[in-house]
Amino acid sequence: MKVGVLTGGGDCPGLNAVIRAVVRKGVQEYGYDFTGFRDGWRGPLEGDTVPLDIPAVRGILPRGGTVLGSSRTNPLQQRDGIRRIKDNLAALGVEALITIGGEDTLGVATRLADEYGVPCVGVPKTIDNDLSATDYTFGFDTAVGIATEAIDRLHTTAESHMRVLVVEVMGRHAGWIALHSGLAGGANVILIPEQRFDVEQVCTWVTSRFRASYAPIVVVAEGAMPRDGDMVLKDESLDSYGHVRLSGVGEWLAKQIEKRTGNEARTTVLGHVQRGGTPSAFDRWLATRFGLHAIDCVHDGDFGKMVALRGTDIVRVPIAEATARLKTVDPALYEEVGVFFG
Amino acid sequence: MKVGVLTGGGDCPGLNAVIRAVVRKGVQEYGYDFTGFRDGWRGPLEGDTVPLDIPAVRGILPRGGTVLGSSRTNPLQQRDGIRRIKDNLAALGVEALITIGGEDTLGVATRLADEYGVPCVGVPKTIDNDLSATDYTFGFDTAVGIATEAIDRLHTTAESHMRVLVVEVMGRHAGWIALHSGLAGGANVILIPEQRFDVEQVCTWVTSRFRASYAPIVVVAEGAMPRDGDMVLKDESLDSYGHVRLSGVGEWLAKQIEKRTGNEARTTVLGHVQRGGTPSAFDRWLATRFGLHAIDCVHDGDFGKMVALRGTDIVRVPIAEATARLKTVDPALYEEVGVFFG
Amino acid sequence: MKVGVLTGGGDCPGLNAVIRAVVRKGVQEYGYDFTGFRDGWRGPLEGDTVPLDIPAVRGILPRGGTVLGSSRTNPLQQRDGIRRIKDNLAALGVEALITIGGEDTLGVATRLADEYGVPCVGVPKTIDNDLSATDYTFGFDTAVGIATEAIDRLHTTAESHMRVLVVEVMGRHAGWIALHSGLAGGANVILIPEQRFDVEQVCTWVTSRFRASYAPIVVVAEGAMPRDGDMVLKDESLDSYGHVRLSGVGEWLAKQIEKRTGNEARTTVLGHVQRGGTPSAFDRWLATRFGLHAIDCVHDGDFGKMVALRGTDIVRVPIAEATARLKTVDPALYEEVGVFFG
Amino acid sequence: MKVGVLTGGGDCPGLNAVIRAVVRKGVQEYGYDFTGFRDGWRGPLEGDTVPLDIPAVRGILPRGGTVLGSSRTNPLQQRDGIRRIKDNLAALGVEALITIGGEDTLGVATRLADEYGVPCVGVPKTIDNDLSATDYTFGFDTAVGIATEAIDRLHTTAESHMRVLVVEVMGRHAGWIALHSGLAGGANVILIPEQRFDVEQVCTWVTSRFRASYAPIVVVAEGAMPRDGDMVLKDESLDSYGHVRLSGVGEWLAKQIEKRTGNEARTTVLGHVQRGGTPSAFDRWLATRFGLHAIDCVHDGDFGKMVALRGTDIVRVPIAEATARLKTVDPALYEEVGVFFG
């Protein structure tokens, strides 16, 4: 049996660990052959493949990124995209496809299965941890670790100088990275996309923190947005939807805090640093087990499923169901963490 | 209301995060006063206390160890131990006790509650992750991360030299650290206390690994033991129970491999390095949430309970039940991971 | 004999290691008493002191920041500043002063010695490594390590996506951090304050890099400036002196690259993260030895001197001479490193 | 012109950085071709080569080990070794040879140059930092960093428990790693091969440390030896030369401390972990500059030289002279550091 593998969407520490586990178990236990597709859906769309066997996956476990390459190519937006993929798979003799990706990548897999009967197994991937049906996605723990270490370092400066330190972390639609790293790093304010923030409230926390001990650290997700009321400021760096534009919400917020509280503020924008480098041990464990269970799905003929983490178990859930809803931060959890604000 | 807090048993990254969360929420939300007891059960036994308020817990989140100190003092082994504790708590006006510790520490809490009606809430702590009723305990992720980083480094040498590299990690009764770090580090052999190992089998994996690529890395839990059959070697470093003595199982195994395969072998013994230093972001998150929920238990009058992690939720379970059974590595999980051996 | 100690200017990993070494050797070998002054020159100016003995310096070696606090208070800008310091020292019985700081802090020490005969010994401190007379200053190695790790992580993303990654690092007047971290991190372009850069040249490197392998990483010191010719762009984020304003040179450059090459560009601004956290082993070694030799200067009555690193030796140089000239990157060294550009 | 490159001896973080720099500058600036020899002197001895061009060195900067492989093959111990090398170089058209290695590797280069006129340039490599003529060798800073981080972690446990913690680090003949990591990690005892230690003195320091604050940390180089007087103990783990055998000096010392002071002692043996993983930024900088200057030597026809660090400059010294004398720890420096013992 020949099995295809592809990785789609943004890169995420742990992708290589999944690929390695799929191939190791597939070859050793089940005697499968593998075809790697290059750059996500572009690979099967254009028939662009790479050899994928045990030597090809040696040494990739600790490496970030993906040896298969990735892209955001969406075959649903191309004429006959799905059909061309189906034809290419057939021509290559690929009988099952393991797709590692986020909502978009897995959405294509669903269509491919439903419309053309191509047997697909999904492995969830989002650094933002915003996918329902799984407790965690790999890459998230690594990103949280990197952001937490940065916040740890800022405490040193906060202790010595009277400056507000603003850290902008990843998270366009969900505040998981901000919440976890902010809590783990002992931040004094955490702002997430799920709840529009009140700049005045932020300034109140900043001021009370200065009184209580040393300088405050504000963690803000890149997708966090100020409340309507804040827009009367007519700050030109807010676009017409109220999204903070140009230099990012971190820079914008730092200026607002300076203007309103009179304290100096400095910004750190971690950017892509958060998704690079070697995966944490947790992410390697999770990604490897996802890979082992994905190839088991193929072996069991259990298609249309996605592997997922529930507690310490790896389970199988229907792909379609799994991607249906964005997993955002529950207001109750945000409130639980709020005891550390200010 | 006055609440006592103590930490017992071996140190573990995350203890301070629990203490901080308990105090922050207890003071800010519920208006409680706190009494810190020094060195585990020795504190309430001898009435040895430390002040515990918000200033006392500032800055301790990222620090390993415990600001309260710890010990293995067991009041059950002292004349009138439990009664003296009860009297000291009464004299100090402590109305509830949060005990952070492993099986022994929590066992005393159960007795205290059952026999004298002292209201106790437990927070589980074991770096070995071998406590039932919770998916993970804090400290474990940090230890796994440290061991994984060490294994990562050994790959460099393994690639350049023809030497077997043996790493001995923590785990007397359960192989969780060996299993997780061995998998995450891409080890070629993982040996755990739950399954006696066959030295010949280990040598077969070592030899086949040399043939397939570069030098093998063997991860062995300190409590792993060879099979009966291996003892005909009458190696004097095995004691009468078959436990490897003196220089540890790592050194013993390295010598066996050298003798039997003719390959040089080198040993790394990580020792206490694994339980030191700053907690990982995951452990800070878990420990903090344990602390927040433990003080909620006190507030709810829900005593005799231990907080535990289930998936992404913190739940409450009866202390007695939680400590009843050691959580060891399931044979099925060990077999799942075995695909990477050799 | 009573010796005063103060730390001035921006915080820098290693300050605590100096303080600890001064006190440990001063007390143990020479039997001195110490007075710590709080917040740089503000301490002696206002007579604000902290106790400084062996218990006070225990455990501070690995901690960033300074237990004495710091400030940019400059007594030369205050009426009678120098005289008030002299009087306060006399009143406290402080017979010698160890001043740990940069150009400004050490400049005051020179005046104090010259005008009032107060015996001073200097310890150089600048995270930017821009002080003549010493091969390296502590804190620099730590900052370079942090920036290098960030660049390492960005390579992962650069390999997977077609995006230019711009990293802005510290260095207002000297490009040492950019040069060392850029070289160590394998950056494709390094821009330093010592040489105005040509945006077109940067874009040429960016484009050629894309052709040769994967996406380019551009490291830019915060004080780097574009050439005159670039200013016809009339980008409003350049101020009237040609300094890049507001969102920093990193953001500005990323936008220029996007505009001119058509490639997406993303920015990471490390900010204060670079000066926080525990000092590297190299910085702890250097800072400790600086401290040991500074107290030896006091013991030898060798005042007006600053300790400095030459090769592997700690030497003594006149303070005045040491701070006379900014140590910038030699054009020949910049050219040597240029072989890796593009 | 065709230039050969080889790496000999034990692996050391930074080898790949040298190779990359040599090739990048050699190809880009001077238009040279390169031949990589596999496994140190075994390569030219057996004519075993690998292609070495710019694509071959891409991405290797941050990787430990050596892409050329290494070995301890010594052609001086083989019949006609030197002549066979000379013939193979001639047959391959290799006109100059860059040899990266320690005393042994560079010794062969000297013979090759002296006896057969083969133009050689040396790059010094020893993780132990024990080579004269250069301030530092690459790999050393990385090893010190790893050992220091381990010591840092042990402080956590030392604070909580009454156990002596012994850490055995690398260093057979020179105590540089023990000295630097012990100082940087705040160890209470540092034992080096240059000075035989007195077990009773060690126990005195251990005991005084317990009295003064918390549990002591003892750093011992693997080549450190007890004094003659200690041998009346007739401990069988000392061999006939007084070297500590079998389980290493760390284990031996821990047992001695337990026996003599009555305190529990635990040992960490870092082993090969110290020489693995990514090089520190300092080592990448140093190794890269060594590589750039080595290829300049070739270009200048300046053979028989070794590159070396003096202060912040890279200089050239005669190979023979450079390897003549082992660089050991100066007694004065050891005494300087001794202020922190006990």
Residue type (1 letter), C151: I
Residue type (1 letter), C261: T
Contact C13 A159 (CB under 8 A): no
Residue D176 has pLDDT above 90, yes or no: yes
For residue D183, what is the nearest residue in chain C, using CA coordinates? C285
Question: Would you call D288 an interface residue with chain C, using a CB distance cutoff of 8 Å?
Answer: yes
For D93, counting Cβ atoms within 10 Å of its Cβ (0-12 exposed, 13-18 middle, 19+ buried), the class is exposed
Residue type (1 letter), D73: T
**Residue B215 DSSP one-character state:** -
**Strand locations in A117-275 (E):** 120-124, 163-169, 189-191, 217-221, 264-269
Q: Which of B70, B268, B274 sits opposite D269 (nearest CB)?
A: B268
Per the CB < 8 A criterion, the answer to whether C257 and C269 are in contact is no
Per the CB < 8 A criterion, the answer to whether C216 and C210 are in contact is yes
CA–CA distances in Å: residue C76 to residues C44, C84, C105, C111, C303: 13, 11, 10, 9, 20
At residue C91, the pLDDT reads: 96
Question: Would you call D153 an interface residue with chain C, using a CB distance cutoff of 8 Å?
Answer: no
B194 in a labelled binding site? no
For residue D271, what is the nearest residue in chain B, using CA coordinates? B268
**Residue B216: partners with Cβ closer than 8 Å, 6 or more residues away:** B158, B164, B165, B188, B189, B205, B206, B209, B210
Chain D residues close to B268, C-beta within 8 Å:
269-273
Measured in angstroms, the CA of D43 and the nearest CA of chain C are apart by: 28
Q: Can you tell me which residue has the tokens 């002196």? A: C241
Question: Which residue among the candidates B128, B141, B230, B296 is catalytic per the annotation?
Answer: B128
**Residue B249: partners with Cβ closer than 8 Å, 6 or more residues away:** B168, B191, B220, B221, B222, B223, B224, B225
Q: Which residues of D are marked as active site?
A: 128
- CATH fit for domain B2-139+279-322, picks 3.40.50.450, 3.20.20.100, 1.10.10.10, 3.40.50.150: 3.40.50.450
Residues making up the annotated binding site of C for substrate are: 126-128, 163, 170-172, 222, 266, 272-275
Contact B11 D271 (CB under 8 A): no
Can you tell me the distance from the alpha carbon of C284 to that of C16, in angstroms, rounded to the nearest whole number?
9
Angle at C199 between CA C194 and CA C200, to 5 degrees: 130
At residue D230, the pLDDT reads: 66
Per the CB < 8 A criterion, the answer to whether B167 and B151 are in contact is yes
Q: Which of A163, A247, A273 sits opposite C247 (nearest CB)?
A: A247
Question: Which residue among the candidates C11, C39, C128, C296 is catalytic per the annotation?
Answer: C128
Of A68, A134, D224, D57, nearest in space to C186 by CA: D57
At residue B245, the pLDDT reads: 46
Q: Which residues pair with C99 in a beta bridge?
A: C6, C122
Two tokens, residue D287 = 């190794």
Share of chain D above pLDDT 70, in %: 94
Of A68, A77, A127, nearest in space to A99 by CA: A68
Q: Is A123 helix (H, G, I), strand (E, B) or coil?
A: strand
User: What are chain A's partners, defined as 3 or more CB pairs within 8 angstroms?
Assistant: B, C
Q: Pick the more confident residue, C180 or A227.
A: C180
At residue A245, the pLDDT reads: 46
At residue C234, the pLDDT reads: 45
Q: How many CB atoms lie within 10 A of CB D265?
A: 22
At residue D229, the pLDDT reads: 61
Enumerate the domain spans of chain A. Answer: 2-139+279-322, 142-275
CA–CA distances in Å: residue C341 to residues A304, C123, C188, C191, D20: 48, 36, 5, 10, 14
Contact B183 A278 (CB under 8 A): no
Of B85, B88, B129, B133, nearest in space to B111 by CA: B85
Q: Is C124 helix (H, G, I), strand (E, B) or coil?
A: strand
Can you tell me the distance from the alpha carbon of A25 to that of A29, in angstroms, rounded to the nearest whole number?
5
Chain C residues close to D282, C-beta within 8 Å:
141, 144-145, 184, 282
Per the CB < 8 A criterion, the answer to whether C193 and C221 are in contact is yes
At residue D247, the pLDDT reads: 65
Interface test with B, best of A32, A183, A296 (most B CBs within 10 A): A183
Interface test with D, best of C154, C183, C211, C290 (most D CBs within 10 A): C183
Measured in angstroms, the CA of A299 and the nearest CA of chain C are apart by: 30
**Chain C, chain D: beta-carbon pairs less than 8 Å apart:** 91
Chain D residues close to B161, C-beta within 8 Å:
10-11, 70
Can you tell me the distance from the alpha carbon of C266 to that of C167, in angstroms, rounded to the nearest whole number?
9
Range of lowest pLDDT (C243-252, D139-148, D170-179, D322-331): C243-252
B1 in a labelled binding site? no
Contact C154 A272 (CB under 8 A): yes
List the pLDDT tens digit at each of the 342 positions of chain C: 999 999 999 889 999 999 999 999 999 999 999 999 999 999 999 999 999 999 999 999 999 999 999 888 899 888 899 999 999 999 999 999 999 999 889 999 998 888 888 999 999 999 999 998 999 999 999 999 999 999 999 998 887 777 899 999 999 999 999 999 999 999 999 999 999 999 999 999 999 999 888 889 999 999 999 997 665 444 445 544 554 445 689 988 999 999 999 999 999 999 989 999 999 999 999 999 999 999 999 999 999 999 999 999 999 999 988 878 899 999 999 999 999 998
At residue C67, the pLDDT reads: 93
Which H, E and C letters describe chain D, residue by residue?
Answer: CEEEEEECCCCCCCHHHHHHHHHHHHHHCCCCEEEEECCCCHHHHHCCEEECCHHHHCCCCCCCCCCCCCCCCCHHHCCCHHHHHHHHHHHHCCCEEEEEECHHHHHHHHHHHHHHCCCEEEEECCCCCCECCCCCCCCHHHHHHHHHHHHHHHHHHHHHCCEEEEEEECCCCCCHHHHHHHHHCCCCEEECCCCCECHHHHHHHHHHHHHHCCCCEEEEECCCCECHHHHHHCCCCECCCCCECCCHHHHHHHHHHHHHHCCEEEEEECHHHHHCCCCCHHHHHHHHHHHHHHHHHHHHCCCCEEEEEECCEEEEEEHHHHCCCECCCCHHHHHHHHHHCC
Measured in angstroms, the CA of D46 and the nearest CA of chain B are apart by: 18
Q: Is A300 helix (H, G, I), strand (E, B) or coil?
A: helix
Q: Can you tell me which residue has the tokens 């042990």? A: D154
- CATH fit for domain B140-275, picks 3.40.50.1000, 3.30.70.141, 3.40.50.920, 3.40.50.460: 3.40.50.460
Of C111, C102, C49, C50, nearest in space to C80 by CA: C111
Partner D, chain B 164-183, Cβ-Cβ below 8 Å: 165
- pLDDT (mean) for A206-217: 90
Per the CB < 8 A criterion, the answer to whether B217 and B228 are in contact is no
At residue B224, the pLDDT reads: 95
B128 in a labelled binding site? yes
At residue C307, the pLDDT reads: 97
Q: Is B184 helix (H, G, I), strand (E, B) or coil?
A: helix
Question: Would you call C304 an interface residue with chain A, using a CB distance cutoff of 8 Å?
Answer: no
At residue B229, the pLDDT reads: 60
**Residue D79: partners with Cβ closer than 8 Å, 6 or more residues away:** none
Contact B153 D146 (CB under 8 A): yes
Residue A232 has pLDDT above 50, yes or no: no
Chain A residues close to B19, C-beta within 8 Å:
none
CA–CA distances in Å: residue A232 to residues A223, A229, A265: 20, 6, 22
Q: Which of A157, A165, A273 sits opposite C154 (nearest CB)?
A: A273
Two tokens, residue D307 = 């590159």
B172 in a labelled binding site? yes
ipTM score assigned to the predicted complex:
0.94
Chain C residues close to A43, C-beta within 8 Å:
none
Does D2-139+279-322 match D142-275 in CATH topology? yes
Fold for domain C144-275?
Rossmann fold (3.40.50)
User: What are chain D's partners, defined as 3 or more CB pairs within 8 angstroms?
Assistant: B, C
Residue A160 has pLDDT above 80, yes or no: no
Q: Which of D163, D268, D277 sits opposite B273 (nearest CB)?
A: D268
Among this protein's residues, is B128 annotated catalytic? Answer: yes
Per the CB < 8 A criterion, the answer to whether C228 and C200 are in contact is no
Q: Can you tell me which residue has the tokens 């100082």? A: D183
CA–CA distances in Å: residue C104 to residues B12, C17, C131, C322, D189: 44, 21, 12, 12, 38
Q: Which of C161, C270, C271 sits opposite A11 (nearest CB)?
A: C161
CA–CA distances in Å: residue B224 to residues B85, B250, B331, D251: 38, 9, 15, 20
Q: Can you tell me which residue has the tokens 């000066």? A: C275
Of A334, A327, A281, nearest in space to A308 by CA: A327
CATH class of A142-275: alpha beta
Chain A residues close to B152, C-beta within 8 Å:
62, 278
Task: State pLDDT tens for residues D211-240.
Answer: 888 889 999 999 999 997 665 444 445 544
Chain B residues close to D249, C-beta within 8 Å:
none
Chain C residues close to D150, C-beta within 8 Å:
none
Measured in angstroms, the CA of A157 and the nearest CA of chain C are apart by: 6
For residue B29, what is the nearest residue in chain A, using CA coordinates? A339
Please compute, for residue B15, the number of CA atoms within 13 A of its CA located in the half-sphere on the CB side. Answer: 31
B115 in a labelled binding site? no
Per the CB < 8 A criterion, the answer to whether A243 and A250 are in contact is no
Q: What is the pTM of this model?
A: 0.93
Q: Which of D144, D181, D285 sits opposite C184 (nearest CB)?
A: D285
Range of lowest pLDDT (A164-173, A178-187, D53-62, D153-162): D153-162
As a 3-state breakdown, chain C gives helix, strand, coil percent values, each rounded to 5, of: 45, 20, 35
Task: State pLDDT tens for residues A56-74.
Answer: 999 999 999 999 998 888 9
Task: State pLDDT tens for residues A276-323.
Answer: 999 999 999 999 999 999 999 999 999 999 999 999 999 999 998 887
For C48, counting Cβ atoms within 10 Å of its Cβ (0-12 exposed, 13-18 middle, 19+ buried), the class is middle
Two tokens, residue D85 = 């090398």
Per the CB < 8 A criterion, the answer to whether D220 and D253 are in contact is yes
At residue C324, the pLDDT reads: 80
Of A204, A208, A202, nearest in space to A190 by CA: A202
Residue type (1 letter), C325: R
Q: Which of C25, C62, C147 sits opposite D339 (nearest CB)?
A: C25
Per the CB < 8 A criterion, the answer to whether B198 and B149 are in contact is no
Can you tell me the distance from the alpha carbon of C110 to that of C92, in angstroms, rounded to the nearest whole number?
21
At residue D323, the pLDDT reads: 79
Give every residue of chain B whose pLDDT is below 50, as ranges. 232-236, 239-240, 243-245
Can you tell me the distance from the alpha carbon of B140 to that of B12, in angstroms, rounded to the nearest whole number?
8
At residue B202, the pLDDT reads: 97
